[in-house]
Amino acid sequence: MNIGIVCYASVGGSGIVATELGKALARRGHEVHFISTETPFRLGEFQAGLAFHQVLTPTYPLFREPQYLLSLANRIVQVAREFRLDIIHAHYAVPHATAAFLSRQVLASGHHPTPRVVTTLHGTDITLIGNDPSYSQIVAFSIEQSDGVTAVSESLRQTTYAELGVTREIEVIPNFLDCSLHRRQTIPSLRGRFTGNDPNVKIVTHVSNFRPVKRVDSVLAVFDRIRQALPARLLLVGDGPDLDKASRLARQLGITDLIDVVGAQEEIVPLLSISDLFLLPSAQESFGLAALEAMACEVPVVASNVGGLPEVIEHGVTGYLHPPDAIEEMAASAIMLLRDPERHRAIADAACLRVRVDFCADRVVPMYEECYRKLVGS
Q: CA 331 to CA 316: how far, in whole Å?
A: 14
Q: Is the pLDDT of residue 266 over 90?
A: no
Point out the least confidently predicted range of 110-119, 176-185, 221-230, 309-318: 110-119
In one-letter notation, the amino acid at residue 270 is P
Ramachandran region, residue 238 (left: φ > 0; alpha: ψ -120 to 50; beta: rest): left
pLDDT surpassing 60 at residue 378: no
User: For residues 257 and 60, which has the higher predicted lDDT (pLDDT)?
Assistant: 257
Return the domain boundaries, the chain: 2-176+361-377, 188-358
| Three-class SS state of 122 | coil
Q: Each residue of 110-141: pLDDT tens digit? A: 777 899 999 999 987 787 666 678 888 889 99
Residue 260's CB is within 10 A of a number of other CB atoms, namely 15
Does 188-358 match 2-176+361-377 at the fold level? yes
In terms of Cβ atoms closer than 10 Å to its own Cβ (0-12, 13-18, 19+), residue 274 is buried
Looking at 3.40.50.720, 3.20.20.70, 3.40.50.2000, 3.20.20.80, the CATH number of the domain 2-176+361-377 comes to: 3.40.50.2000
pLDDT digits (tens, 9 = 90+) for 348-360: 999 999 999 999 9
Q: Which of 183, 159, 147, 154 is nearest to 171 (CA)?
A: 154
Phi–psi pair at 133, nearest 5 degrees: -55, -25
pLDDT tens digits for range 148-201: 999 999 999 999 999 888 999 999 999 999 999 999 999 999 999 999 999 999
pLDDT value of residue 61: 66
Residue 54: per-residue pLDDT: 93
Which numeric CATH code is attached to 188-358? Answer: 3.40.50.2000
- Residue type present at position 369: E
Cα dist. 285→141, 187, 205, 289, 367 in Å? 24, 30, 17, 9, 22
- Lowest pLDDT segment from 6-20, 105-119, 203-217, 260-274: 6-20
Give the pLDDT of residue 183. 95
**DSSP character string of 249-267:** HHHHHT-GGGEEEEE--S-
pLDDT above 90 as % of the chain: 80
Residue 63, pLDDT > 70, answer no
1: closest CA among 87, 112, 104?
Answer: 87
pTM of the predicted protein model: 0.92
